[in-house]
């Protein structure tokens, strides 16, 4: 995860006709009264409670065991690209401290763990001959994880493209999509004896826009709308090829999905008209990735909005992109408030007042209703039967007390309010099967460096000492209860 783009810009980039309305601060009252069912506050038996991380953010060890450089190594070498020139060379030193981190999972009672594989550890040049030592770390980590009784979910791509793939233009080239499929096939052959859930990639729109439109993330390019639209399409082709690679190479019983930072469109007041408008907005505001994945087509409004900048594609491309999935992962953070409109689009985006509450990360506006409405829309629009919340968490400016405690009550407020809305959705039959809290430990937050802390475990970056925060104790209690107190 990283900085998110402003929803005004998001609507513009999608070519949407929805207008943006200003709403007085006193009018933001989105939550509806809880029903008697949601007051019970429990989750179904077998609901999975987990945590999530990504390779570049936590592993460190950028050259050990033959790992090749990724685009994030190259990007962060330029000191002006990241906060105070920070890079992921150390991360949270998980490469050397994975046993300690798995012990933390055991202490918290975590049942499942979402990690990502560093592509350039396995294929230092992106393609060609694999690095046999690249698996050593993941083999040790997975064996320790399974011995601890923690179920792994594996993300194949979490933004750290091998730098060597930039020789062909990175995701500007369909050669990268093919290389990703080849890497995925090799990874699944090696891992599917122990890993039964694979996520092809995380947050398509975010790593495309950050890396290819705004230059705020690796590889740091600022390209035209037409090129960015084609990059997005190439990435989706890579996803589709990877799904097929998983299916062709995994052991029986393996499942595959994607983790999407879908725009969480929430009715600002829960009237039938606003709910219908929010559902329509969900399909259109996610028209770059989730909608074509689920429908095998780009929406007419999306293509019309792009005009001459629309991507070039074939019917075979769209069939590939929409290869059926076993599950969908949703990364849920900030909301987008919607109300019905007489405009042709049928809805308008309600702008945030200046007084709207935010967390330490300026993009992270508080919006627990998104945890209810995003999976609710996903089920209603496309009949998805297996959903996971693959990321949800809060940035805080954590400072230990004199006694060494981290009393992050702001993060607890955030988590409790979001989990209440998740329980509301599950109690109504929305098929969310598990929740992955971002993140297990403090780590490198991309271009924000080490300034932002998302972990429920505090990491002293000088000594790498781990300390479970108050939010970690809260989450431990949630897991033990399988619900909220």
CA angle centred on 198, ends 48 and 244, rounded to 5°: 145
Residue 239, marked binder = no
pTM summary value: 0.93
CA-based nearest residue to 119, from 65, 75, 163, 86: 163
Domain range for 378 is 7-481
Domain count of the fold of the chain: 1
Averaged pLDDT, 267-281? 98
pLDDT interval class at 11 (50, 70, 90): low
Evaluate if residue 271 carries a pLDDT over 50: yes
Q: Pull the structure tokens for residue 170.
A: 């990175």
pLDDT single digits (tens) 363-403:
999 999 999 999 999 999 999 999 999 999 999 999 999 99
pLDDT single digits (tens) 23-64:
433 333 344 433 433 447 899 999 999 999 999 999 999 999
Averaged pLDDT, 343-361? 96
pLDDT the model gives residue 26:
32
pLDDT the model gives residue 21:
44
Evaluate if residue 148 carries a pLDDT over 80: yes
Catalytic pick among 284, 334, 348, 391: 391
Identify the residue whose tokens are 């405009």.
Answer: 343
pLDDT interval class at 20 (50, 70, 90): very low
Give CA separation, 393 vs 105, 266, 405, in Å.
16, 19, 20
Would you say residue 277 lies in a domain?
A: yes
pLDDT the model gives residue 1:
54
Residue 363, marked binder = no
Averaged pLDDT, 196-214? 98
Q: Which range is least confidently modeled, 16-25, 118-127, 237-246, 426-435? A: 16-25
pLDDT the model gives residue 485:
79
State whether residue 458 is helix, strand or coil: strand
pLDDT interval class at 145 (50, 70, 90): very high
Q: Are 377 and 278 in contact (CB under 8 A)?
A: yes
Would you say residue 1 lies in a domain?
A: no
Q: Are 285 and 225 in contact (CB under 8 A)?
A: no
How many CB atoms lie under 10 A from the CB of residue 464?
17
Q: Is 391 a catalytic residue?
A: yes
Evaluate if residue 83 carries a pLDDT over 60: yes
pLDDT single digits (tens) 310-331:
999 999 999 999 999 999 999 9
Evaluate if residue 8 carries a pLDDT over 50: no
Burial string for 434-462 (b: 16+ CB within 10 Å, else e) reads bbbbbbbbbbbbbbbbbebbbbbbbbebe
Averaged pLDDT, 273-293? 98
Burial of 335 by CB count in 10 Å (0-12 exposed, 13-18 middle, 19+ buried)? buried
Evaluate if residue 263 carries a pLDDT over 70: yes
Averaged pLDDT, 243-266? 98
pLDDT the model gives residue 18:
42
How much of the chain, in percent, has pLDDT values that exceed 70? 92
Any idea what the CATH number is for the domain that residue 46 is in?
3.20.20.80
Residue 365, marked binder = no
Q: What stretch of H or E contains 115?
A: strand 112-116
Residue 57, marked binder = yes
Averaged pLDDT, 333-362? 96
The DSSP 8-state label assigned to residue 31 in this structure reads P
Give CA–CA dist 458/467, Å, rounded. 5
pLDDT the model gives residue 9:
52
Residue 438, marked binder = yes
pLDDT the model gives residue 368:
98
pLDDT the model gives residue 10:
47
pLDDT the model gives residue 33:
39
Q: Is 40 a catalytic residue?
A: no
Catalytic pick among 59, 203, 284, 348: 203
Would you say residue 2 lies in a domain?
A: no
Averaged pLDDT, 71-92? 97
């Amino acid at each position: 995860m990283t900085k998110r783009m402003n929803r005004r810009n998001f609507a513009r980039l999608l070519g949407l006709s929805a207008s943006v309305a200003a709403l007085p601060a006193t009018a933001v009252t989105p939550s509806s009264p809880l029903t008697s069912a949601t007051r019970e506050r429990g989750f179904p038996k077998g609901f999975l409670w987990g945590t999530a991380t990504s390779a570049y953010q936590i592993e460190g060890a950028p050259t050990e065991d033959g790992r090749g450089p990724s685009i994030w190594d190259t990007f962060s070498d330029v000191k002006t690209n990241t906060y105070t020139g920070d890079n992921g060379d150390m991360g949270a030193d998980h490469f050397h401290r994975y046993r300690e981190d798995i012990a933390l999972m055991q202490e918290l009672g975590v049942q499942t763990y979402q990690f990502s594989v560093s592509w350039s550890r396995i294929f230092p040049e992106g393609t060609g001959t694999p690095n046999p030592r690249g698996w050593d770390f993941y083999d040790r980590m997975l064996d320790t994880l399974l011995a601890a009784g923690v179920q792994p979910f594996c993300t194949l791509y979490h933004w750290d493209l091998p730098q060597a793939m930039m020789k062909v233009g990175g995701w500007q080239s369909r050669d990268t999509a093919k290389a990703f499929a080849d890497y995925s096939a090799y990874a699944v052959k090696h891992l599917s004896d122990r890993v039964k859930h694979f996520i092809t990639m995380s947050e398509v729109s975010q790593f495309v826009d950050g890396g290819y439109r705004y230059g705020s993330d690796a590889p740091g390019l600022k390209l035209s709308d037409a090129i960015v639209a084609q990059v997005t399409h190439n990435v989706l082709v890579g996803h589709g090829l990877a799904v097929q690679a998983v299916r062709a190479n995994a052991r029986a019983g393996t499942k595959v999905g994607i983790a999407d930072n879908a725009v969480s469109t929430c009715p600002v007041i829960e009237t039938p008209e606003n709910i219908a408008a929010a559902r329509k907005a969900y399909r259109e505001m996610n028209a770059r990735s989730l909608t074509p994945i689920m429908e095998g087509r780009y929406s007419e409004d999306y293509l019309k909005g792009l005009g001459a900048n629309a991507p070039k594609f074939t019917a075979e491309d769209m069939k590939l992109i929409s290869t059926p999935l076993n599950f969908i992962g949703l990364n849920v953070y900030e909301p987008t408030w919607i109300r019905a409109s007489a405009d042709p689009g049928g809805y308008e985006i309600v702008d945030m007042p200046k007084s709207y509450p935010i967390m330490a990360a300026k993009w992270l506006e508080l919006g627990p209703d998104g945890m209810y409405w995003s999976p609710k829309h996903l089920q209603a629009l496309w009949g998805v039967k297996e959903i996971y919340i693959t990321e949800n968490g809060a940035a805080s400016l954590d400072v230990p007390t004199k006694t060494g405690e981290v009393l992050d009550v702001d993060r607890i407020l955030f988590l409790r309010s979001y989990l209440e809305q998740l329980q509301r959705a599950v109690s109504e039959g929305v098929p969310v099967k598990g929740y992955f809290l971002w993140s297990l430990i403090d780590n490198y937050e991309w271009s924000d460096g080490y300034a932002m802390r998302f972990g429920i475990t505090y990491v002293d970056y000088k000594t790498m000492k781990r300390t479970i925060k108050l939010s970690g104790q809260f989450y431990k209690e949630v897991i033990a209860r399988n619900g909220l107190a």
